[in-house]
Structure 1
Amino acid sequence: MILLTSKTEFANRIEGLEQGADAYLGKPFSVEELHTLIGNLIANRIRLKGKYSGSSTQEGKRAPIVLQSSDEMLMDRIMKVISSAFKKMYGISPTEYKEANEE
């Protein structure tokens, strides 16, 4: 939070900062100073988020979540049934049959 106020006394600035303000700008203020302050605050938040989120230390430790639609799940089940029936009939899987006939 950035306080933009006409109260420029030291006691007012301290009170604002103690209430949780990240910065305190007294009027009149420079737009360039405000932009710089905003940029610094955003950069610091991003840096802190990256440091404390644990995302860099968790890379490779967590498995990605893969979601399937109901259509994809149905097709997977159908393909398993067909593959199982094919293997019972011919003694080999459809993949093995395909590979043998591609040569």
Structure 2
Amino acid sequence: MTESILIIDDNEDILDFLSVVLGGSYKLHLAANGEIAQSILDKEIVHLIISDIMMPGIDGFELCRLIKSNVEYCHIPIILLTSKNTYKAHIEGLEVGADAYIQKPFSSELLQVQIANLLKNRRKIKEHFASSPFEDVRVMAHSKTDEAFLKKLDEYIKANIKDPNIDIDMLAEHMFMSRTTLYRKIKSLSSLSPKELIDITRLKKAANLIARNEFSFYEISKMIGYSSQSLFSRNFQKYFKMTPNEYFDSLPRE
């Protein structure tokens, strides 16, 4: 999947320059001001934001503050660009939640490395969560808001884990979000679809039950909402790269 970057700057030359520098590696969305940026965030999955600070209307600091306080977008890393060469501006950028702060004029190489590092760190966390049987969903949280969101989502799935029909509509109703907003949030935060997140939550519960060694694989598949043991075994291997039997054999014995 090509990651997408939202670039916000009222200077057309900067937008053109960044389009040339980043266009070959990422899907780009361009906005001349905060209002346009908001409408893009409401429609698209965005993995990273680059914003100028000095803009008419909503400036970069205020935009950063708004994004980081909104549960729908607060997980998105933000790089602020500024011509202000002062500690006060740098501190203010960090206080409103910016993940990186780059002074103009800047080297395109420095910007590319910052972007790559932020996205790589997010990817590593997502991959670790998806492939580790015991890793908690909150490992993917990048803020207290994200942590509360993931905890509420996780608790609902676990409370209804025996139901084979849990779907995105049930999740959206519980989270008081529209279906599309919830899909964007989960996909951007975890790189998983809501269905995949539900599957992984089921399988992590299964890993816990296998470790307890109290139930057969057939019983466990029913307890976590699978209609068949073979489907359970296939999905377990798909995510954890081993069968339930291999997983059981790998566990330490007292």
Q: Distance in 2 between matches of 1:20 and 1:28?
A: 22
Structure number with larger C-alpha Rg: 1
Aligned equivalents of 2:97, 2:86: Cα separation in 1: 17
Deviation digits for residues 36-65 of structure 1, max 9, x if unmatched?
0000000111122233x353215774723x
Do residues 50 (structure 1) and 131 (structure 2) align?
Answer: no
Q: Per-residue deviation at 1:33?
A: 0.1
For 2:101, the equivalent position in structure 1 comes to: 24
For normalisation by structure 1, the TM-score amounts to 0.53
- Secondary structure at the aligned position of 1:46 is classed as helix
Segments of structure 2 that go 5 or more residues without pairing to the other structure are: 1-77, 134-202, 208-220, 222-231, 236-254
- Aligned mates of 1:45, 1:7 — CA distance in 2: 28
Query: Please, which of 70, 87, 92 is the counterpart of residue 15 of structure 1?
Result: 92
1: CA distance between counterparts of 2:90 and 2:125? 25
Partners of 1:8 and 1:44 in 2: CA distance: 28
Distance 1:49 1:12 in 2: 32
1:1-103 maps to which residues of 2 (within 5 A)? Answer: 1-51=78-128, 53=129, 55-57=131-133, 58=203, 61=207, 63=232, 64=235
Q: Distance in 1 between matches of 2:132 and 2:97?
A: 29
Q: How many residues align?
A: 64
Runs of 4+ in 1 over 4 A off after TM superposition: none
Structure 2 length normalisation: TM-score?
0.23
Q: With CA pairs under 8 Å and 6+ residues apart, which has the higher RCO, 1 or 2?
A: 1
- 3-state DSSP of counterpart to 2:105: coil
Once the two structures are TM-superposed, the CA of residue 13 in structure 1 deviates from its matched residue by 0.5
